[in-house]
Structures are given as C-alpha cells and as structure tokens.
Structure 1
Amino acid sequence: MSSNKAIKEEFSKDFIPCPVCNKSFEAHVIEQHVNKCLFLNTIPESTSKRTSSQMDDKVSQEKRVKTEVCPASSPKVDKPQSSHAAFNSPPPKPKAKDTKATTPLAERARPQHIDDIIGQIKSFGPGTMLRSMLEQKKIPNMILWGPPGCGKTSLANVIASMCKESTNMRFVKLSATMAGINDVKEVVKVAKNEAQFKRQTVLFMDEIHRFNKLQQDTFLHHVENGTITLIGATTENPSFSLNNALLSRCRVVIMEQLTTEDILKILEKAIEKNDLAVIVNNVGDENNLKGVKEKKCVIERASLRWLGEVCGGDARVALGALELALHAARPPARISLQQLQDGIKRSHTLYDRKGEEHYNIVSAMHKSIRAGADSAALYWTARALAGGEDPLYVARRLVRAAAEDIGLADSYALVEAVACLQGCQQIGMPECDVLLAQCAVRLARAPKSREVYKAMQRCKKFISETKGPLPSVPLHLRNAPTKLMRDIGYAKGYNLQHKDESGLTYMPENLEDVNFFEDDYGG
C-alpha cells in the first residue's frame, strides 16, 4: 500500500489537471495549455464568419500547438468539446445558380429534334435528302449559308443532341470569332484519338468566313480523310468568303430568310415551352381572360405577328424583343399591340454594306430603272439608304444606269445623274436622299436606248477575239508633229470633211466595213 501511495504521489507531481477541460498535462506545459484552452473556449461567435482560408490557417496552427504541448510521452486524451470544433466541418456547398434566369430566350427556345425546326422546308423539310440523312444519323460535311437568325445554329443544336444520344459520335462547337488555328488543331488531335475507338467527331464552326483563306486550309486534309465532319455556318456568300478547295469537300446548304408565319410559330412555341405568358386574340375581351392566372402576363396574338413582321426574318431579334417586353411587364399585365409598338421600334434593316446584300439591293435598283418600274426603283433606293448604304455609291450607280440604259434616247439623263452625284458630294446625308430618289424615278421614266452600250460590248468582244497582233493605226489618221513623220506619210491626205465626202477610211485596214451598231457587225 505504501508503494502505491508513493507512485500516486510521484504521478501527481508530474501531471497537473487543467482547470478548464479537466485533462491532465505535464507540469512544464500546463501553463501553455491553460492559455490555449481559455482562448479556444472564449472565441466570439462573429469569428465563425471568417473565410475558409482563415479557418484552415487556424486549424493548422492548432495542430502545431498541440504537437508542441503534447509530447509523445503524455497520456492520450479525448479532444475537448468546444466551439472550435465547428472549424473542422466542411463548408456548405454553394447553391447552384439558376441558369434559366440568365440564359437568353433565344437560346432556351432552340430546337432539340429535327421535327422541332420551323421553316427551311426546301433544305430540311420532309422528303429532302438532308432530312433523310439526319434521321439516319448520317451527318455530311456541309456549309450552312443564310441570313442572321434563320436557324443555322439551331440546326447545329439539333445535330449536337443527336451526337449526345449516340455512343459513337461526339460534337464540338467553335466560333471563328473566338477560336484560332491552335483550337482547331487541338480538336483534330482529340478526334484522331477518338477515331481509334470508332467515334466520329463533328466540328461545328460558327462564322467560318471569319477565317481567312490560309486558316481555312487547316480543315482540308482532315475533312478529306474523314478525321472530322465539318459543319460551317456563314452569313457571307461562300463563293467569295471560302476556299474553293473547301467548298469542293462540303455541300453548301442555302437557308432562306424566315417568313412572318415562321417567326410567329417560333414565338408561340417559345412562350408555350417556357410558360411565359398566355396568348389571346384580344386583351380587351374579358371572355378571353377567363381562367388566366393572375401571376401570368397576357399578350395579343397580333402583337406576336407584328414582331414577326418587323424583325426582318431574324428569329433571334424577335425572341429578344419578346423577352424584353415580358420583362418590362409585371403580371398580370396585358400586352396589346399598341403597347408593344410604342415600346419597341423597328431596330434594324437587313443590309450589309460589304456583303452580298449590298450588291443585291443596288442591282435590284438598277434593273428596276431599266424596266421603267419607277415605284420599284424608288423602293430599292430607299431600302439601300435605310440600310446605311453610302449615298455616293448609289449616285455612281445611277450615273452608270443613265449611260448604259438610257443613253442617246435622252442625253439629258446623264447630265442630271452627274448633277445628282455632285449634289450628294456637296450636301451629304440625310439631305441628299431626295436627290437620289428624284434621279432614280427620273431615270426609270426616261426613254431607254442600249444602243451605245451594246455597240461597246461588241467592240470589246471583237478586240479580245482578234487573232494575232492588233492592226496598226492608218497613216493618214496619225499626227505629224515632226518633219520626219511627215516625210514618212503621217497625216498624209487627212481632211476635216465628213466620212462620206472625205474619201478616207477611219477603221484599220481590212476592217473598213465593220459596223458595231448592227447585230451582224462582221466580227
């Protein structure tokens, strides 16, 4: 008994209980432990709002202190139940963002299946070759060419859904406005690896015309050997913006501008799919509003049709305008046609001053003048100006029309067209618009004669088809400023009389009887 008592007294000399947590520690470390224990049990609640990095630093510091104050020889004790234990709990997971609220309506309304595509009946309608290939999940190399908002990216979205459903296809989407050659090379590198596992890579390159001709060469070899299936989308004429070598490897699919009925169907489908509003024929008729929930907006069908009419065939513009109108209205608001017209104006006119539409509209103006269609000539002139066309370019085309199509039938037409060009140079837009309109109508109503133009075309053709060297100028038609030239025969026999009285010929030798003003000019 005496020996046990001695051991207990010896143990009590070496270990001292902590007055806070009631744990025993060695005498030389008990002071440090008590200070630490008091600190941890008196942390204010506000410190629980510290950042995760501060918490991690505190925990690591706490571990270091414990290692220092609790040597291996000390007895193993349980961790005290204190407020600092909350530091070791994992941080709460952040709530997932509601992407639906931030995603534009035009993106949410994209079709997922080929049957959901609205419009483009000629290219992807029932019975077409491309429709049959896509239904069999066979995707050809193709270039989708069409105006903005006609459904090029939506079709790519349908193909992406097809690839997700298939185990041997993968879909990659890039945009030439953001991606470069290195991105394409990376896609090809992965595609080669996937091909070993019999997986085909479909690459959708949006705005492919943004790549220059040298950058487009990157696709050639990989499209030809089947490493990738290329789907390009462009608003520019592929004949001008894409390599001929690339065009020979891809089929060009012409996608037409959407009609008003197509846009109306797209808007109605987007509203129904996303449960955005209730469509009625007349918001003023209470019978149409029966059963409508108070938490929903009500919109007239005429309003949707008006959006389809003013969007210029661009479904993206129509969906954006619809989304703007619905966000501005608070349920249970009633959106009438008049309210929509007051809030949203025609935002744009489809026109590209450097693209094909630039040439199409001015060509239509010129042909209308040639045909004497004054209203059409005025319309296309105004359409070009509304799209932001350079008025001087329009004026130059009017000068050309005056010489080419009116010619000698009304010699004053050319004078007035040149005066119009000079007036546009002097006063500019918007004041010069009436000058262009007057000149276009004037030329359309003027008598027409293409005699000079056709004669010039025959003459140019005759010169280009002449075999051998072109005949020299007859000596009597040459000037003779020096004695040597006169001695050689330059200007010999020349006189100022009319050709019928002068006795001279004015065409080269052997071409005396050629008359370019006749259909059979002897060429």
Structure 2
Amino acid sequence: MNKSTEVTCPVCGRSFSPDVIQQHADRCLFLTSSASPPSNSIAKKIKLDHRPAKSLDFDNHDKPPPAKKPKTENVPLAEQMRPKSLEEYIGQCHVIGDNTLLRQLILKREIPSMIFWGPPGCGKTSLANVISNICKEESNLRFVKLSATMSGVNDVKEVVKVAKNEAKFDRKTILFMDEVHRFNKLQQDTFLPHIESGVIVMIGATTENPSFSLNSALLSRCRVIVLEKLNSDNVMNILLRAVTEKYSADIVDCADEVSSRPSIDRKTLQWLADICDGDARIALNSLQISFQMKQPRTGSSKSVHISLEDIQEGIKRSHLLYDRKGEEHYNIISTMHKSIRASDDNAALYWLTRMLTGGEDPLYIARRLVRLAGEDIGLADPRALQIAVSCMQACQLIGMPECDVVLAECVVYMARAPKSTEVYVALQRCKKNISEHKGALPSVPLPLRNAPTKLMTELGYGRGYNTAHKNKSGLQYMPDGMESVVFF
C-alpha cells in the first residue's frame, strides 16, 4: 500500500492502513488512559501493571490474544453439572413439572419476581441458571447474578442504573440475588421501588424461612416458590448424568465387570444418593473427590474403578439438615415435645436422636424437658419433674456424648408417663383473669395480711387469722368479690 494512503495514529505516532487505524487507536487509548497526555514519544513512557514500557508491543496489541481453554478440574462438579435447560433440570416436579404455572411462564419468557426457598442443594441456583440461559437466547432479556454474601446495596444500585438505560431499548433486566436473606431488612428495602416500577425482575434464593428473614414489603412483591429436598431417585439420576457425561465412566454391578474405561459400582452411587440427605451438591462433590483420589498417574495404564469402600473412606454423614439457629431447630424440638405429649415414645426418641446427631446443645433439650414435665405431665406423675431436673444436672456434669443415654431415658420415661395439664390450664386461666381485670387489682383480705408492727396490728392486719382448713377457718382466701372464681 502507498505510504501516502496510511493514517498516523494520534496516540503513538505510528502509521497504519485506514481499515485498521480505528481498531489500533482504540487500543492505544485504552492503554494510555491512566498515563500522561498523548505525545509522539508516549509509546516509550506507557507502563502497564507497573511493568517497563519495553514489555509492550503495539503491533501485537492489534492482534487478539489466543483463546485459552477454561480449566474445569478445579471447578466443583456441582457447578460443572448445572442444568442449562428445563429438560436437563431434575426434581421439583411440583414447581417446574409439566403443566405447572412456573414452567409455562418461563417457556413464554414471562418471568415474574419470585423467591426460591428450600434447603441447600435442592436446585435453587440451578433453576436460576436455567433462566439465565433462556435470557441469553432472547435479545430483550438481560440476566444479572449477584450474591448477598459478596455484594452490597451499591452493587444493586449499579445494576438498577444500567437496567434503567436498558429499559429504554425495551430490554428487561432480571436480577438474581443468591442468599438474599444475608441482606438485613433495611437493605432489602433497596429492591422495593424498582420491583414495583418494573425496572428489574428480582429472583431471590434463600435457605431461611422468608417469613422471618425477609421483610413483608418484599414478600408482597415476590411470589415465594417452595423447593423441597431431592429424593434419592432424583439424586441418583443427577449422579448417573455426571458419571456418563463428565467422566465417561461405566456403571457396573460388580468388580468383575471392570473394563479399560473408568467405572463405578451402581451400589456406590445408590449409597451416595441415599446418604447425602437430599443435597445434590454434596453428592456431586463427593463423587468428584472419589474420582480425583483414584485418578492414575500420567502414563499409567491402570483403569479407574470406584467402589463403595473408596467413597466411604473419605465421606462421613455430618451434613444432616439441622440449623441450630434456624427454623429446623424449632421444628424438631416442637415435634419431640408433641410426640411426648401424645405418648409416642418411639417418635420422641427419633427426634431426640436427630437433634443430638445434628449437634444440638443437650442442655437446651434438658431445659425443655423440665418445662414439659410441669406442663404436660404435671400432677399425674410428680416424679417426672424430679427426673427431668436430674437429667439436666447430669447433662451439666458429664456433657456429650456421655449424656445422650440420660436424655434418651428421660424422654422415653416422659412419653410413657400419664399426662395431666390440669395445673397448666389453671395457670393460664389465672393469668388471663389478672391481665383482663378492669381497674385496680383487689387488695389482700385483712386477716391474711402480715402484721410485723404495732400500727399494722391496730389497723386490723392479721386479725382473726387461724391455721384451720378453709372449710373450718371461717376465712376467705380469695380477694373480695372473687369468692366464686375457680381456675381448676
């Protein structure tokens, strides 16, 4: 090309053909955005990441860097296996199954503001990932993912700012906020006006009960979608898909069927599906650890085979769903109490064991048993209260795990004991009478008053008092005007 037709870059002073000068100038401006004003010698002065200018090659910058293949070996298998479409999504048929309202809305690209509520590993983020891929297929939908564990109100404001500009071009912004319960209720107010005006469609995900963790104003603007624990069949299907797609492994019924390809026992997958307590993330990541552990050295011809013993060696069932500060904490202790009240010793022992296995404080359980002895057993078996107090003292003295059998004995005794709520009901009636009394509460009758001084004696305090039975003493022990009130 003739030199006269070339164009000089105003930033670095070099000459380029007209068809590439714009691209080159854009790159030069990007590189010098934080440097000194442009000059003919600027190419010698520019620094990038505090490296000397000689490390820069403007000609190389005009060529796109070679594409790098993403490394997946360090990415958790649960993240790699996220479904990309509704057809790949497994489980939650009551929410996303055929002919459900949410499925129809997603297929029509009419996605509402909603909150996904469910236990860990049940598919909340995976369902959001499906929606994200649907948005990529549509030019008028934009999906933004944030996590309340790493983002703040300013990040939300920035998303809203961009969403307002996108709305001018008829593009709808869907904001997915993972772990939304991490925002306090004041921070949650940030979403309200923008959901109300339609600037954003918000999808939140939480493991906490929205009734407690989210404010009522946000709940009124979002539909709560309840996701349940995955059953063993769901988790098994997810594991089968991972084994075949990710590891190209054979599923065998016995070790004799092992071939040159990677393989895994079917009973191993079933055990893993049963033991993960409905958490697909735990199952997938445990499977990944097992394959990594058995991966042969480079150059080795030995085939990979995963047996039940291989997975059991490094995996323990320490993930039972039991949040000592969340809803499950109150659900299980309440269920144990109700099982004892119904004299179901078998169920009461089960729920006690669930709490102890999940790491509950034994003293908390013991205190509840003391209360239960007075409330539900009462005078039908006064010894129950003594046993409950002794159980609490034993828990204080020896702690876990030695006190587990003491708690079990106390729970079974109370479940089998006769029940009487007579005292409890009478107490509630008495409280109600006092709280609903109009005017000043009645005074203590004069014969029943203490008379430690001469003045009190002269005023009639204690006059006529005797220790005889109420039917013989001639005294009235209830306040004046309440002689006929009976709480039992």
TM-score between the two structures when normalised by the length of structure 1: 0.78
Kept in 2: contact 1:124–1:130 (CA 8 A)? yes
Q: How far did 1:339 drift?
A: 3.4
Kept in 2: contact 1:172–1:201 (CA 8 A)? yes
1:229 maps to amino acid:
V
Match of 2:85 among 109, 113, 120: 113
Q: How far did 1:89 drift?
A: 11
CA 1:478/1:141 → structure 2, altered by over 3 Å: closer, same or farther?
A: farther
Structure 1: stretches of 5+ with no match in the other structure: 1-51, 61-86, 518-523
Kept in 1: contact 2:247–2:262 (CA 8 A)? no
Q: How far did 1:504 drift?
A: 2.2
Cα shift readout 1:76-121 (whole Å, capped 9, x = no counterpart)? xxxxxxxxxxx98999945614333332210111111123222212
CA 1:53/1:392 → structure 2, altered by over 3 Å: closer, same or farther?
A: closer
Q: How far did 1:202 drift?
A: 0.8
Task: Look up the SS of the partner of 1:116 in the other structure.
Answer: coil
Could you say which residue in structure 1 is the equivalent of 2:130?
158
Q: How far did 1:285 drift?
A: 4.3
CA 1:109/1:502 → structure 2, altered by over 3 Å: closer, same or farther?
A: same
Cα shift readout 1:2-27 (whole Å, capped 9, x = no counterpart)? xxxxxxxxxxxxxxxxxxxxxxxxxx
1:114 maps to amino acid:
L
Q: Structure 2 CA distance, aligned partners of 1:90 and 1:411? A: 89
Q: Is 1:514 matched up with 2:465?
A: no
Cα shift readout 1:11-56 (whole Å, capped 9, x = no counterpart)? xxxxxxxxxxxxxxxxxxxxxxxxxxxxxxxxxxxxxxxxx96792
Corresponding residue pairs, total: 433
Q: Write out aligned runs for 1:131-142 (5 A).
A: 131-142=103-114
Could you say which residue in structure 2 is the equivalent of 1:314?
279
Q: Structure 1 CA distance, aligned partners of 2:170 and 2:185? A: 31
Kept in 1: contact 2:348–2:411 (CA 8 A)? yes
Q: Structure 2 CA distance, aligned partners of 1:190 and 1:364? A: 48
Kept in 1: contact 2:255–2:265 (CA 8 A)? no
Q: Structure 2 CA distance, aligned partners of 1:88 and 1:269? A: 43
Task: Look up the SS of the partner of 2:202 in the other structure.
Answer: strand
Identical residues among aligned pairs (%):
61
Could you say which residue in structure 1 is the equivalent of 2:68?
96
Kept in 2: contact 1:297–1:329 (CA 8 A)? no
Q: Write out aligned runs for 1:78-477 (5 A).
A: 93=65, 96-280=68-252, 282-286=253-257, 292=259, 294=260, 296-330=261-295, 332-477=303-448
Q: How far did 1:153 drift?
A: 0.4
CA 1:339/1:485 → structure 2, altered by over 3 Å: closer, same or farther?
A: same
Q: Structure 2 CA distance, aligned partners of 1:232 and 1:92? A: 38
Q: Structure 1 CA distance, aligned partners of 2:233 and 2:480? A: 67
Q: How far did 1:513 drift?
A: 1.8
Normalized per residue, which structure has more helix? 1
Structure 2: stretches of 5+ with no match in the other structure: 1-49, 296-301
Q: Structure 1 CA distance, aligned partners of 2:278 and 2:312? A: 18
Cα shift readout 1:117-154 (whole Å, capped 9, x = no counterpart)? 22212222222222222221111111111111011101
Q: Structure 2 CA distance, aligned partners of 1:475 and 1:117? A: 78
CA 1:377/1:57 → structure 2, altered by over 3 Å: closer, same or farther?
A: closer
Q: How far did 1:485 drift?
A: 3.1
Q: Structure 2 CA distance, aligned partners of 1:246 and 1:89? A: 48
Q: Write out aligned runs for 1:483-498 (5 A).
A: 483-498=454-469
CA 1:54/1:481 → structure 2, altered by over 3 Å: closer, same or farther?
A: closer
1:162 maps to amino acid:
I
CA 1:131/1:498 → structure 2, altered by over 3 Å: closer, same or farther?
A: farther
Q: Structure 1 CA distance, aligned partners of 2:199 and 2:67? A: 41
Q: How far did 1:313 drift?
A: 1.1
CA 1:276/1:194 → structure 2, altered by over 3 Å: closer, same or farther?
A: same
2:154 maps to amino acid:
N
2:358 maps to amino acid:
G
TM-score between the two structures when normalised by the length of structure 2: 0.83
Q: How far did 1:419 drift?
A: 1.0
Q: Structure 2 CA distance, aligned partners of 1:187 and 1:195? A: 12
Cα shift readout 1:311-356 (whole Å, capped 9, x = no counterpart)? 1111100000011111122462322223332343323221111111
Q: How far did 1:381 drift?
A: 1.4
Q: Structure 1 CA distance, aligned partners of 2:104 and 2:65? A: 47
Note the aligned Cα RMSD (angstroms): 2.4
